[in-house]
Amino acid sequence: AVQRTFSIVKPDATKRNITGKVNAKIEDAGLRIIAQKRIQLSKEQAGEFYGIHKERPFYNDLVEFMTSGPVVVQVLEGEDAIAKYREVMGATNPKEADAGTIRAEFAESIDANTVHGSDAPETAAEEIPFFFSDDEIVG
Ligand code: CMP
Between the alpha carbon of residue 45 and those of residues 36, 42, 51, 62, 121, the distances in Å are: 17, 5, 10, 12, 21
Q: How many helices (H) and strands (E) does the chain have?
A: 7, 4
Q: What pLDDT sits at residue 19?
A: 98
Model confidence at 45, in pLDDT bands (50, 70, 90)? Answer: very high
DSSP 8-state assignment for residue 45: H
Ligand 1, atom 1, lies closest to the CA of 116
CA distances from 119 to 2, 6, 123 (A): 16, 9, 6
Q: Which residue has the least CA distance to atom 3 on ligand 1? A: 116
What is the distance in A from the centroid of ligand 1 to the CA of 78? 24
54-105 pLDDT, tens digit per residue, is 999 999 999 999 999 999 999 999 999 999 999 999 999 999 999 999 999 9
Looking at the chain, the whole-number percentage of residues with pLDDT higher than 70 is 100
Ligand 1: which of 92, 103, 130 to mutate, most ligand atoms within 8 Å of CB? 92
Average pLDDT, the chain: 98
Report how far apart, in Å, the C-alpha atoms of 132 and of each of 11, 60, 138 are. 19, 25, 11
Cβ count within 10 A of residue 54: 11
| CA dihedral over 24, 29, 32, 33, signed as positive or negative | negative
Ligand 1 midpoint to CA 59 (Å): 8
Nearest 10 degrees: Cα torsion 111, 116, 117, 120: 40
- Return all residues near 47 (Cβ < 8 A) that are at least 6 apart: 54, 63
Q: What is the pLDDT of residue 12?
A: 98
pTM, rounded to two decimals = 0.98
Specify the pLDDT at position 51: 97
pLDDT at 23: 99
Q: What ipTM, to 2 d.p.? A: 0.97
